[in-house]
Amino acid sequence: MTTTGDTATTGEGAAHEGRSRVERYDPAAIEPRWQARWDELGLYDTDLHDESKPKFYLLTMYPYPSGDLHIGHWYIKTPTDAIARYRRMHGFNVFLPIGFDAFGLPAENAAIKNRINPREWTMANIEHERKQLRSMGATFAWASEVVTCDPAFYRWNQWLFVQFLKRGLAYRSVSAVDWCPNDGTLAREQVEGTDRRCWRCGAKVEKRELPQWYLRITDYADELLDFGGIDWPDPVRIMQTNWIGRSSGAEVVFDTAPSSHNAGGEELRVFTSRPDTLFGATFMVLAPEHPLVGTLTAPERRAEVEAYVAQAATRTEIDRLSTEREKTGVAIGAEAINPVNGERIPIFVADYVLGTYGTGAIMAVPAHDERDFEFARRFDLPVVKVVMPRHEDPDAELASAFVEHTTDEVMVNSGRFTGRPAAEAWHEIVAWLAERGKGRQAVTYRLRDWLVSRQRYWGTPIPVIHCEQCGAVPVAEDRLPVLLPETVDYRGSGDNPLNRDEAFLNVACPSCGGPARRETDTMDTFFDSSWYWFRYLSPAKADGPVDPAMVRTWTPVDQYTGGAEHAVMHLLYSRFFTKAMRDLGLVHESEPFRRLFNQGQILGADGERMSKSRGNVQDPDELVARHGADTVRLFLMFMGPWDQGGPWSPTGIGGVSKFLHRVWTIVLDPRGHDRGDATGGELPAGETEADARSRMRSTAHRTLRDVTEDYEQFRWNTMVAKLMELSNLLSRYRGTSVAGLPEWDEAVRLLLLMLAPAAPHITEELWSRRVAAAGLPWASVHVQRWPKVDEAAIVESTREVPIQVNGKLRDRVTVAAGISDLELEQIVLSRDKVLAALGGREPHRIIHAGGGKLVNIVVR
């Protein structure tokens, strides 16, 4: 009835059987065009020197170039891009860099399998992933890209390593690593099954003592426990705190007792967090790796002990520490003397004691430690109770170890300390030991120094030269980088080809000039990711790792986004590096990331982690081809809370697609030429034109207020829902007399601006057409200012008040907005339904909740 005459807003509507048709929303036509245009204009090349605007450093964890990004990568990066665009609309100079974590095992494995160079494999993948990332329409600052396998980057790994070495923060030490007789050293995750077999050849993996490079992260243990000044999720802070595992206690010295085969008097140091239980120590246990095992073992026990130690070496710590396994161990035929009471107690070797924690030896107090209790039961050793709640029988048998810590415990069977409160005895015993040189207060950490050596080719070569005369000598700074040789001679197994590369290996000692050999270990890739965000600020800088001026202006990172799986690895190492680099005078901050957000993980449709081997990977390219990037972006944001993730299910993506189609028609065809609907161009029943106009305005501004808050809180799913509601309202008015009026126009404008950070292409297209239709010069929607809420528009003249009787909803009533409580009560108490619910009872109390949001009548 009203559909003839005008042409469509675009001017492109073609006459079609008496109707003009609006061009359909076709993302495939729009998206690449705008991506190219943004690129051309350099819309997102951040000017790092522009100080006219406040800076915002937005960082998202760089991907490992495995060949294909899956939908999980988009799940991280899409909202991150929306944050960047949102912040820009607030006038920030936003820096959102991207790069590639390009060293690492998968490249090497693929290289071995396909007989190609890891570099070729990696660079081809990077090229592919660049295209994929661009297809998202994300605003990455490509000009600042960092690729870690590029010598321009990794030479600074080497430079930093040399500085660490000079400061004693890097050191070399011999330790046990997993070793396969065919393939050499293995990473922990390459050892499979409880029977410890090599993932590639299936051979039994052993422990082998090898010289390894370490970083002294433990020097920073206490500082790393302090999370002051950073806004990180609790779970990450808790995990790091537990990982560092600070434990306060005492180191106690036990002397060995003289025996037929040993003069005795050797010191056995142990760490205990319970010095108050010292009188209950009834035996000692050494880790199989303990250096004194050999010297202390009695000749008649030697064969058995050596067999046990050898067998323990075939287990990993994880396996050894498994609580499922029954305790094992053997007596070594020697005794130690308890310093507090002079008692002689037997010494065992058992693998439930770790060589790498504390001193590698413990005093065993079975009465007050579950593990010791279990061991004592197994080997029929005495259990002496020394701490107990007041008023308990000190000689009663224990059914299990008593490990409780209450304030009301007393010492028993503890010589001169008997009867003392346990909490006080703790300190008194430490003091007593200290006076006699038999102990001191001590702190131990679970955290160990970071092993950065990898016996692998595809990583940053550790810049050290081994000379028989001078030892391990760092490569001179002006001789860096030590380049990774380009030609790789793999022999079909996982050994490190650097070990056979004579040209690489043979070198003159930097110190004495004599013949020497290069270190062939390469660095853990976490070394790269521990400082890469500093490098983004000056990726090409040739005379230093970081640009101090840029670092000063731009760090710390304002917002970091990425997965929680890095809680205790990457995120802890990064904090350590920042502090270590601060102490080298390279950076000024102590914390790298001011605010951290961990998004959830997208799993495969089967609920398992997405991986090629499981065949449950969702390819984003396919989805983009079918629905367009904006739809995929918006769908990922709409699925649920960002920190939640969940199994991938494309069900429902059609709803998001429908929403964008609807936005398209609202903007381009307000009059409803292409309606195809059944509303007949009529306003909703009972609604006047004035009602509709005010409703559009109030809804638009209320949406703006709420959506702004959602953007701030990263609540994408409700943000999208609210924009859907607004578009549903406008859609209802499309083709009616209010479509195209100023209130309509304002609502459309707000809708586009609010949607722009999340769905950048369609909004840019529609914005440009509106601007053109109005005869105005073009300016990108993405450089517009975020609109301001008009609070006055939100206020309504009436409101609906729910009425409860004793907390149960009974009625609702529409009243004038400014009504007083008293007036409201009168209205409420005259309602039929309310009277019926009261049943003649007198109101005891009337509650006006939430500033008149609800009335509750209480009766007895």
Partner RNA sequence: GGGCGAGUGGCGGAAUGGCAGACGCGCCGGCCUUAGGAGCCGGUGUCCCGUGAGGGACGUGUCGGUUCGAGUCCGACCUCGCCUACCA
Shortest reach from residue 771's CB to RNA, in Å = 25
Angle (deg, nearest 10), helices 629-638 and 71-89: 90
Binding-residue pattern over the window 219 to 238 for RNA, x denoting contact by CB under 7 A:
---------------xx--x
Across the beta sheet with 506-508, what order do the strands follow? 471-474, 464-467, 515-518, 506-508
Backbone angles phi, psi at 839, to 5 degrees: 55, 40
568 near RNA, rule: CB under 7 A: yes
Shortest reach from residue 476's CB to RNA, in Å = 39
Shortest reach from residue 354's CB to RNA, in Å = 4
Residues 510, 641, 787, 843: which binds RNA (CB under 7 A)? 641
The answer to whether residues 567 and 240 touch, using CB atoms and an 8 Å cutoff, is yes
Shortest reach from residue 159's CB to RNA, in Å = 30
662 near RNA, rule: CB under 7 A: yes
Shortest reach from residue 669's CB to RNA, in Å = 11
Q: Based on CB atoms, which residue is closest to RNA, 502 or 842? A: 842
Distance (Å) of CA 800 to CA 34, 515, 814: 46, 90, 4
Beta carbons within 8 Å of 1's beta carbon, 6+ residues apart: 680, 681
Q: By C-alpha distance, which of 251, 167, 158, 160 is closest to 216?
A: 167
Shortest reach from residue 2's CB to RNA, in Å = 15
Residues numbered 295-354 forming contacts with RNA, rule: CB under 7 A? 317-318, 320-323, 325, 327, 351-354
730 near RNA, rule: CB under 7 A: no
Residues numbered 372-401 forming contacts with RNA, rule: CB under 7 A? 374
Q: Rounded to 5 degrees, what angle do the CA atoms 672, 675, 677 make?
A: 130
Number of residues that bind RNA (CB under 7 A): 91
Residues 535, 570, 715, 782: which binds RNA (CB under 7 A)? 715
The helix, strand and coil proportions of the chain, stated in percent and rounded to the nearest 5, come to 40, 20, 40
Q: Based on CB atoms, which residue is closest to RNA, 11 or 807? A: 807
Shortest reach from residue 134's CB to RNA, in Å = 27
Phi-psi region of 17 (alpha: psi -120 to 50; beta: other; left: phi over 0): left
Q: By C-alpha distance, which of 54, 167, 55 is closest to 580?
A: 167
646 near RNA, rule: CB under 7 A: yes
Residues 7, 728, 798, 830: which binds RNA (CB under 7 A)? 728
Residues 56, 527, 536, 638: which binds RNA (CB under 7 A)? 638
Shortest reach from residue 541's CB to RNA, in Å = 35
Amino acid identity for residue 790 in this structure = D
677 near RNA, rule: CB under 7 A: yes
Q: Based on CB atoms, which residue is closest to RNA, 163 or 530? A: 530
Q: Based on CB atoms, which residue is closest to RNA, 235 or 544? A: 235
The answer to whether residues 374 and 327 touch, using CB atoms and an 8 Å cutoff, is yes
Shortest reach from residue 778's CB to RNA, in Å = 29
Residues numbered 357-376 forming contacts with RNA, rule: CB under 7 A? 357-362, 369-371, 374
Q: By C-alpha distance, which of 574, 531, 569, 576 is closest to 220?
A: 576
Residues numbered 154-213 forming contacts with RNA, rule: CB under 7 A? none
Q: Based on CB atoms, which residue is closest to RNA, 69 or 720? A: 720
Residues 717, 737, 768, 784: which binds RNA (CB under 7 A)? 717
Stretch that binds RNA, among 57-65, 136-144, 551-559, 841-849 (CB under 7 A): 841-849
Residue 726, SS3 per DSSP = helix
Backbone angles phi, psi at 212, to 5 degrees: -135, 155
Stretch that binds RNA, among 304-312, 672-680, 765-773, 821-829 (CB under 7 A): 672-680
Residues numbered 433-472 forming contacts with RNA, rule: CB under 7 A? 444, 446
Distance (Å) of CA 554 to CA 83, 441, 535, 722: 17, 43, 12, 34
Residues numbered 506-565 forming contacts with RNA, rule: CB under 7 A? 564-565
570 near RNA, rule: CB under 7 A: no
Residue 251, SS3 per DSSP = strand
Shortest reach from residue 594's CB to RNA, in Å = 21
What is the C-alpha to C-alpha distance for residues 702 and 722, in angstroms, rounded to an integer?
10
Q: Based on CB atoms, which residue is closest to RNA, 130 or 446? A: 446
Stretch that binds RNA, among 95-103, 270-278, 414-422, 521-529 (CB under 7 A): 270-278
Q: Based on CB atoms, which residue is closest to RNA, 108 or 369? A: 369
Shortest reach from residue 368's CB to RNA, in Å = 9
Shortest reach from residue 728's CB to RNA, in Å = 5
Residues 679, 694, 768, 784: which binds RNA (CB under 7 A)? 679
Shortest reach from residue 634's CB to RNA, in Å = 10
Q: For residue 562, how many C-alpha atoms fall within 13 Å in the half-sphere facing its CB?
A: 20
Distance (Å) of CA 767 to CA 80, 156, 756, 760: 22, 45, 9, 10
Residues 2, 190, 441, 806: which binds RNA (CB under 7 A)? 806
The answer to whether residues 276 and 411 touch, using CB atoms and an 8 Å cutoff, is yes
The answer to whether residues 154 and 458 touch, using CB atoms and an 8 Å cutoff, is no
Distance (Å) of CA 563 to CA 148, 171, 527, 631, 645: 20, 31, 18, 23, 10
291 near RNA, rule: CB under 7 A: no
